[in-house]
Amino acid sequence: MKKKRVLVTGGSGFLGSHLCERLLEMGHEVLCLDNFFTGNKGNILHLIDNPYFEIIRHDVTFPLYVEVDEIYNLACPASPIHYQFDPVQTTKTSVHGAINMLGLAKRIKAKIFQASTSEVYGDPKIHPQPESYWGNVNPNGVRSCYDEGKRCAETLFFDYNRQHGLRIKVGRIFNTYGPRMAMNDGRVVSNFIIQALRNENITVYGDGAQTRSFCYVDDLIEGMIRFMNETPDTFTGPMNLGNPVEFTILQLAETIITMTHSSSRIEFDPLPMDDPMQRCPDIQLAQKAIDWAPQTTLENGLEKTIHYFKPRLKALK
Comparing CA positions, the residue from 268, 67, 252 lying closest to residue 177 is 252
146 is catalytic: yes
What one-letter code names the amino acid at 279?
Answer: R
CA–CA–CA angle 212, 216, 220 (5° rounding) = 100
DSSP, res 129: B
Torsion of CA 206, 192, 136, 147, to 10 degrees: 130
Distance CA 23, CA 259 (A): 32
Assess contact for 227 and 113: CB atoms under 8 A: yes
Distance CA 81, CA 256 (A): 22
Cis (ω within 30 of 0) for the bond into 80? no
Q: Which of the residues 146, 160, 177, 216 is marked catalytic? A: 146
Active site residues: 146
